[in-house]
Amino acid sequence: MSELARLGLLDPRLKKADPNAIPTKKYYYANMYDGPAIQPTPRNKVLGPLADAGKYAIPEILSSIPTLLDEMSYGEMPYTGTGFTTTLDPRVADFADFMPSKAALTGVGVVGSTIGKKAFKPLTKADAIKEVTKKGYDPRIAQGFNKVTGAGGEPRLEDLIKLDEVNAIISPYKNVPKDKTFLTLQDLEGRPFITSMSDRTRADGFINEIKGVKLKHPVAMLGGQGHMYLKDGQVWASELEVIKKHQALADKLFKETGKKPVLLPNRMGSSGSDFSQNTGEVMLAYGDANMTNAVKKELDAELKKIIPEWKGISNPNSWLQYGSSNKKIRNEVLFTLDQYRNKGGLSVPEARVAITEPAQLNAADSGLMYVGEIDPTKKIITDSGHAVYSGGLAGNPVGLLNEDRRVYEILQKQAGIQKPPAKNSNTKLYTEEANPYMYEYLNMNPRDPSAAANRSLQMMPYGGLLTEDLLRKIYK
């Protein structure tokens, strides 16, 4: 049974017709779709990229050029009036001052050009990082992908300048409430809590268009922190062994306090979604819709080397083959798909942007956002309906925090925020030179933990009690 059928997201009539089906364009999502998706204004495929490249490559003194190109890419004319009353837009004259000596406009900027007598430099990665940060992206989302180590290294310049072009269009789930309850940690005073790492993937509907290309096979987004809103009675999904640890901790806290624990997922880094099947799904769907048949044939031959039973990028069953594979194979598939980013495919960074919940595109690592309630009186769910995570935790969503809180603010014991060692103790044990690891944990800023501190929370639930004393420290 497909993950959508398990989650009850498919129309009941479809379950009878094909219970193993992956969503395709012909499917009728009457119980999911909630009105027409917001559509982008059509844009000229030549002028649009030129305008975007110009925003980075052309000096501020000639900033009117990309602005004019941008307007023209949406159908506006560079003149007003008709016949003898025609008046040329004065910005067109700026082109006379813009005379590239080598006419080398590329995807990363204008190379070796001059303006009058003054030469200017091509776009640098530092400039691009500043620009995408202003636009609300975490630059790390543009990191490349290695089939062995996964995401890493510096953000790729070619992807930094394309983040704004992704523009994923969603057909929203009908059963997910648009209006959610907002609350603060203070509203949860006295409650036990459990926190667990979560990627940033969205859980609000089907992605049916990326970069202006309509997908033949819409991609169902399952989250992420928002997963708790998808299935009644299930607040979380993960590997079964991990869910067992959550259940054991929930049982312990429930017995100690008599109160059901709240679930406060903490946010992974911007590339944490690479483990999700959704990353590869959107790359497969986009490639199927945008690549030429010749390129698809070439790509299928490469993917067949990784998955011998590969049925082809245009076969929806390939999604099941990819999603049910282990991490090593999925990483090899992602790496291969990323190599076709300039042959009509989608890059891994572009896929990350498409599947990331918009509110989390530039949100802080280790941040708290969604709030659920775990029901330890119920048994573990052994068939969660998620493509990658088989185990489920019983419970329901509560709402979202309307404040910026980080996980180590509530895990102050784990963060080492405690009284300093007594004067007569061996304080040398806690110096940076003698024990840098312990020093870091004893002196870390709970709102700005190191990457190592965040990694230490992976695949393991932590819990505690939101006491009055703890909340006073947080809100002091």
Predicted confidence (pLDDT) per residue in 38-85, tens digit:
344 567 777 777 776 665 555 444 456 777 777 777 677 776 665 555
Q: Tell me which of 137-151, 294-308, 328-342 is least confident.
A: 137-151
Parallel, antiparallel or unpaired: strands 197-198 and 266-267:
parallel
Structural domain count of the chain: 1
Q: Single out the residue of 93, 89, 92 nearest to residue 81, CA to CA.
A: 89
> What does the pLDDT read at residue 112?
30
Distance CA 40, CA 317 (A): 30
Question: Residue 109: inside a domain, yes or no?
Answer: yes
Question: Residue 116: inside a domain, yes or no?
Answer: yes
> What does the pLDDT read at residue 267?
94
pLDDT > 90? residue 337: yes
In angstroms, the Cα distances linking 82 to 37, 72, 124 are 37, 17, 42
- Reported residue count of the chain is 476
Question: Residue 393: inside a domain, yes or no?
Answer: no
Answer whether 195's CB lies under 8 Å from 411's CB: yes
Residue range 204-235, pLDDT digits in tens:
999 999 999 999 999 999 989 999 999 899 99
Percent share of the chain, pLDDT over 70: 71
Q: Model-level pTM?
A: 0.71
Token pair for residue 96?
A: 């006379």
Please, which pLDDT band fits residue 273 given cuts at 50, 70 and 90? confident
> What does the pLDDT read at residue 299?
97
In angstroms, the Cα distances linking 99 to 94, 95, 102, 107 are 10, 7, 9, 18
What's the whole-number mean pLDDT along residues 285-311?
Answer: 95
Cα angle value 148/150/155 (rounded, 5°): 130
What's the whole-number mean pLDDT along residues 370-390?
Answer: 91
Mean residue pLDDT across the chain: 78
Angle between helices 327-338 and 293-306 (to 10 degrees): 150
Question: Residue 316: inside a domain, yes or no?
Answer: no
pLDDT > 70? residue 415: no
> What does the pLDDT read at residue 188?
97
Distance CA 313, CA 302 (A): 11
> What does the pLDDT read at residue 10?
39
Answer whether 278's CB lies under 8 Å from 209's CB: no
What's the whole-number mean pLDDT along residues 260-265?
Answer: 97
> What does the pLDDT read at residue 125?
86
Residue of 372 and 316 predicted with greater confidence: 372
Cα angle value 67/72/75 (rounded, 5°): 140
Please, which pLDDT band fits residue 9 given cuts at 50, 70 and 90? very low
Percent share of the chain, pLDDT over 90: 47
Question: Residue 396: inside a domain, yes or no?
Answer: no
Answer whether 217's CB lies under 8 Å from 319's CB: yes
Residue of 266 and 316 predicted with greater confidence: 266
Residue range 83-137, pLDDT digits in tens:
555 666 666 655 544 444 333 333 333 333 333 333 334 578 888 888 888 888 9
Question: Residue 96: inside a domain, yes or no?
Answer: yes
Boundaries of domain holding 90: 47-123
3-state secondary structure the chain: CCHHHHCCCCCHHHHHHCCCCCCCCCCCCCCCCCCCCCCCCCCCCCHHHHHHHHHHHCCHHHCHHHHHHHHHHCCCCCEECCHHHCEECHHHHHHHHCECCCCEEECCEEECCEECCEECCCCCHHHHHHHHHHCCCCHHHHEEEECCCEEEEEECHHHHCCHHHCCCEEEECCCCCCCCCEECHHHHCCCEEEECEECCECCCEEEEEECCEEEEEEEECCCCHHHHHCCCCEEEEECHHHHHHHHHHHHHHHHHHCCCCEECCEECCCCHHHHCHHHHHHHHHHHHHHCCHHHHHHHHHHHHHHCCCCCCCCCCHHHHHHHCCCHHHHHHHHHHHHCCCCCCCCCHHHHHHHHECHHHCCCCCCEEEEEEEECCCCCCECCCCCCCCCEEEEEEEEEEEEEEEEHHHHCCCCCCCCCCCCCCCCHHHHCCCCCHHHHHHHHCCCCCCCHHHHHCCCCCCEEEECCHHHHHHHHC
What's the whole-number mean pLDDT along residues 238-260?
Answer: 94
